Structure 1
Amino acid sequence: MGIDKITGQTHPAAQTEAKRVSLPPKPGTQRAGQDFARVLADKLAAAGESVRFSAHASKRLQERSIVLEDSDLKRLGAAMRQAAQKGARSSLLLYNDLALIANIGSKTIITAMKGDDLKEHVFTNIDSAVIIR
């Protein structure tokens, strides 16, 4: 309905045809040949391998002069993912001459030991062990 501003009378509005407009996709929002599920799976896999360290573990690594490279972190992340698939919650990760206790759910290393610290040591409050070669 329209209103005549001078007389104040109403009259039917002119019928207009609605046009559908499709906007071109924004750059970077489409990936050729990849669907959403695949992109999501790739992102989750990449994020799933990130390993965090608690303040205690960071302190232990520093005190014991333990240096972990990117390749080491990827292997630890893969081991933690494998433990998670088996239902583990808290694991002992044995890697080279290191023993790491990890919270699998949060992908966090809780503490780290090396070499002589491993002799006659009892690990408690773990539900699994992963040997990484």
Structure 2
Amino acid sequence: MVKSNLSISNLKRSQNTETRAKAKKEELVSDFKGLLQKNLDKKDEIKISTHALKRLKDRKLNMDNKEFAKIKKAIAQLREKGGKDSLVITDKAAYIIDVKNNTVVTAIDKKSIKNNIFTKIDSTIVIN
């Protein structure tokens, strides 16, 4: 009889260990999913360089939510086509974008676009 009690006790401990291991695995998977989602969200985040902030202020350019949405959409399209350093032209302004880092590098108002030369860009998109 004592032997069978030990076997049942060992079986219960084994089941508890398996349950804890399964819970730990589920926790790790959940943590990984959260981390992955956080990185995906960060990938969609648009950054603005210090230089671009200065240009926006100096040129009195206002980037509202619609403008951000346009830039975000443009970056996605440029990324699909392999763009790296790109010119994005909207109805309000033009922006040089570092596509890989989702960063607005500089901003140019519509008046200044004329007779301006843009160098070191590999792609351009015009969006309205």
Q: How does the TM-score come out when normalised to structure 1?
A: 0.69
User: 1:54·1:108 contact (CA, 8 Å) conserved in 2?
Assistant: yes
**Aligned residue number for residue 71 of structure 1:** 66
Residue 42 of structure 1 deviates from its aligned partner by: 9.2
Q: 1:57 aligns with which of 47, 52, 55?
A: 52
- May I ask how many residue pairs the two structures share in their alignment? 109
Residue 49 of structure 1 deviates from its aligned partner by: 2.7
Q: 1:92 aligns with which of 67, 87, 109?
A: 87
Cα distance 1:87–1:118, how it changes in 2: closer, same or farther (>3 A)? Answer: same
Residue 102 of structure 1 deviates from its aligned partner by: 0.6
**Alpha-carbon RMSD:** 2.8
**Aligned residue number for residue 114 of structure 1:** 109
**Aligned residue number for residue 123 of structure 1:** 118
Residue 97 of structure 1 deviates from its aligned partner by: 3.0
What secondary structure, in the 3-state scheme, does the structure 1 residue paired with 2:126 have? strand
Whichever residue aligns with residue 102 of structure 1, its letter is I
Residue 132 of structure 1 deviates from its aligned partner by: 1.4
State the Cα deviation string for residues 73-122 of structure 1 (Å, max 9, x = none).
Answer: 12211211110111111000001131100111111111111122111001
The structure carrying a bigger helix percent of its residues is 2
User: 1:101·1:112 contact (CA, 8 Å) conserved in 2?
Assistant: yes
Amino-acid identity (%): 25
Higher relative contact order (CA 8 A, sep 6+): 2
Q: Unaligned stretches of 5+ in structure 2?
A: 1-5, 28-32
Residue 48 of structure 1 deviates from its aligned partner by: 3.1
Q: Unaligned stretches of 5+ in structure 1?
A: 1-13, 30-35
* Off by >6 Å, runs of 4+ in structure 1: none
Equivalent runs, 1:43-54 vs 2, <5 Å: 44=40, 46-54=41-49
